[in-house]
Structures are given as C-alpha cells and as structure tokens.
Amino acid sequence: MIADQRADLTGAARLLGSARSVLLLAHNNPDADSLGSALTLGLALGRRGAEVSVSFDVPGAIPQSLSGLPGVDLVTPAERWLQAGTSGLDLLVSVDAGSAERLGRLASLFDGDVPLLVIDHHASNTYFGQHHLVDPSADATVVLVDALLSELGVPLDADLAALLYAGLATDTGGFRHGSAAAHVLAARLMAAGARPAELLQAITDSHPFGWLGLLSAVLGRAVLDPLALGGRGLVHTCVTLRDSAGLRQEEADSVIDILRTTSEAAAAAVLKQSAADEWQVSLRSRDGVRVGVAAIALGGGGHPQAAGFTWRGDYQGAIAALTQALDGPGAVSDEA
C-alpha cells in the first residue's frame, strides 16, 4: 500500500508541477480543510509561475470564518467557470470531496477535455477523476497537500503553514482525533509560523451574540433516544430556518459539537434546515458506532464517525430513516 500511495504522490506532484493553468475546487460549504487545501496549493503553484484560481459552488461567498485565511484573493465565483467553461485550463483539481456531487454545479466541468486530479482522505471516495491521490489514513486533506509541497520542493512559509494548520486542527476535532503524525505535523507548522490561537479564534471560537439564542432554542428541544443503536443511544435536534435567521452557517454548524458530548448517546445528529422541505444532516459517533455507514445508505457520505447527508422531507421522517439506517448492517462494529 505504501508503495502505491507513494506512486500516487509522485504522479500527483508531477501533474501539479507541470500544469500552467490550474483550477482548484473545494466542496460545497467549504470547511477549513477543503478551502485550506485549495488555497495552499493555489499559493504554492502560483509561486512556481502557474496561473491559479480556486472556486466552489455553494455558498456564493467565502464563509466569514474563513475569509481571513491567506490566499483568499485566489477565489473566483463558480459562475465564471460555469459560463466560460474550462478552455485555457490544463488541470482541474478537486480537494477534500469524496464524490463529484459534493462540488455542486462545478462537477459539470468534468466532462470536458481537461484532466481532473482528485486529492482526498474520505474512505467513501468514488474515484471520480482521471488521477487520484486518495488516502483514508490521512487525518485531513491538508496532510496530503503538505506531502505534495515536499514532493514539489516548495518550502513552508507562515501563510502555507497557517492554511495547513487550519485544516488539520479542524478536521481532527482540535487534535482529539488526530494521529501522532498529525501532532508532529502541527509542531512543524507552528515552527514555520502558524499561530493556533489566532487562527482558531476566527474559524471556530467566535460567534455573534445571536448564537446564544439559537443554542438555547435548539439544545432545549434536543431529544435523547436511549433505545436507538441497540441501547447505545442517539441524541438529535434540528436548526430551523427560523432559528438561524440572520445568523451565519457557522452558528448552525457549531451545534453538532455540543450535541456529540451527550454521554448517554453514542451517536448525535443535527438537522439543519436549508429549505422548506430540505435538511442538511450532520452526524457524529463514538464507541464503535459508524454513522458514516448510515450516511452512505441515505445518499450522503463522510468518515466513519463524522458524516452527513441531505434529507428531503420532514424532521420526523429524517429521524425515522436515520434510526433505521443505524440499525442496518455495519453501523455498529463487532468490537463495540
């Protein structure tokens, strides 16, 4: 396996190193791992003389919590690419997306003549490109990007280190779920100039006052189902459009990190309403429960213990479907 990954890495670095005009794509509702990976590669390739842009479909602007990251000037609106197509480009790169659907409308760029390199760490990756650097053992996609920088001979500076650190810290749940390699990389990134407290203050540790009202309503209606998952327990709640009115996506996204701390439940679900009959569902689990299996069964994806899917219908219907999927094969591992 190591030899194969190595070959992927060398091949991916060769493609990136020889491309003159590159479009890097982050997934819908980009997080720090996806946008951080795209911006790192963007800055690094730009310094090597390539023409580079970064784009993502939804939402139409950079999430405020990520808008202070280095390199955000590279971001171009999805509309530009949807209208102009891929002419003039010689490489497309998707970062941190497990499937083409995660790129929204920008996935339509993949049926042209421009090769697509997929860089990702989701085990559920569907290998939707022509070239792949996919390693589910990587803590975050930025880990693969760091390896690519070494392969390309690009030295870390404070901007690149900040971007990589942002993705690493957030995808490992503030290093709780990080491997020893993630901690070693963090030390190297700090030595290159990454400032953890300053970075995370903007990304995860700051919310408007209205967030407290959202939390009060949403946590107040949380439901604990102690019988779900063969008695391991499921806790769930919803964030309606009314709860989140006037607030950022970041406020709704933060709820899962509180819900998941419920000690009586091995799995947690937050349904975030995105339209009258549409919910984006965030799932987390521990103690051998694999919510990722349920997410895939319901048309979504992610990691074994951090996953999601989109539900069309009502809240109760979503919970019924989720409970059933969690009782299906593979959701609870034998050791649990």
> Shortest Cβ distance from residue 307 to Mn ion (Å)?
12
Residue 306 contact among Mn ion, ligand 5GP, none, beta carbon within 5 to 8 Å by kind: ligand 5GP
- DSSP assignment, residue 332? B
List the one residue out of 77, 66, 124, 67 whose CA is nearest residue 100: 124
From the list Mn ion, ligand 5GP, none, partner contacted by residue 323 (C-beta under 5 to 8 A by kind):
none
Instruction: Using the minimum distance from each CB to Mn ion, give the nearer residue, 127 or 327.
Output: 127
Q: Is residue 146 a contact point for Mn ion (CB under 5 A)?
A: no
Interaction between residue 135 and Mn ion (CB under 5 A): no
List C-alpha distances in Å: 279 to 96, 148, 254, 312, 314: 22, 36, 16, 6, 8
Task: Using the rule CB under 5 A, give the single segment among 38-46, 48-56, 132-140, 157-165 that binds Mn ion.
Answer: 132-140
| Interface map 164-203 toward Mn ion (x if CB under 5 A) | -------x--------------------------------
Q: Does 96 bind Mn ion (CB under 5 A)?
A: yes
- Given ligand 5GP, Mn ion, none, residue 56, with its beta carbon under 5 to 8 Å by kind, binds none
User: For residue 205, what are the contacts with CB-CB under 8 A and spacing of at least 6?
Assistant: none
Nearer residue to ligand 5GP within complex by CB, 43 or 167? 167
**Interacting residues with Mn ion between 32 and 51 (CB under 5 A):** 33
* 223-225 sheet: strands from edge to edge: 223-225, 234-239, 267-275, 278-285, 306-312, 301-303
300 binds, among ligand 5GP, Mn ion, none (CB under 5 to 8 A by kind): ligand 5GP
Q: How far is the CB of 282 from ligand 5GP (least distance, A)?
A: 3
Question: Of 188 and 207, which has the nearer Cβ to ligand 5GP?
Answer: 207
Per-residue burial over 74-111, b = 16 or more CB atoms within 10 Å of its CB, e = otherwise: bbeebeebeeeebeebbbbbbbbbbbbbbbbebbebbe
- CA distance to 60, 139, 263, per residue, from 28 (Å): 10, 20, 31
Instruction: Report which of 268, 212, 269 is spatially closest to residue 243, judged by C-alpha positions.
Output: 212
Q: In angstroms, rounded to a whole number, what is the distance separating the alpha carbons of residues 117 and 119?
A: 6
Q: Which of Mn ion, ligand 5GP, none sits in contact with 33, Cβ below 5 to 8 A by type?
A: Mn ion
Report the residue closest to ligand 5GP, judged by CB. 308
Q: Quick one: which H or E segment has residue 93?
A: strand 91-95
**Which does residue 308 touch among ligand 5GP, Mn ion, none (CB within 5 to 8 A, set by kind)?**
ligand 5GP
102 vs 232 by CB, closer to Mn ion: 102
Choose one: 30-38, 56-64, 179-187, 219-227; the region binding Mn ion (CB under 5 A): 30-38
Cβ closer to ligand 5GP: 45 or 307?
307
> In terms of CB distance, is 273 or 282 closer to ligand 5GP?
282
SS3 249: helix
For ligand 5GP, the binding residues (CB under 6 A) are 98-99, 102, 256, 282, 300-303, 306-310
Q: How many CB atoms lie within 10 A of CB 328?
A: 11
Alpha-carbon span 69 to 34, nearest angstrom: 12
Q: Are 218 and 322 in contact (CB under 8 A)?
A: no
Q: Are 22 and 16 in contact (CB under 8 A)?
A: yes
Kindly state the smallest distance separating residue 156's Cβ from ligand 5GP, in Å. 25
Q: Whole-angstrom Cα distance, residue 58 to residue 248?
A: 14
In the complex, the residues that contact Mn ion under the rule CB under 5 A are 33, 96, 140-141, 171
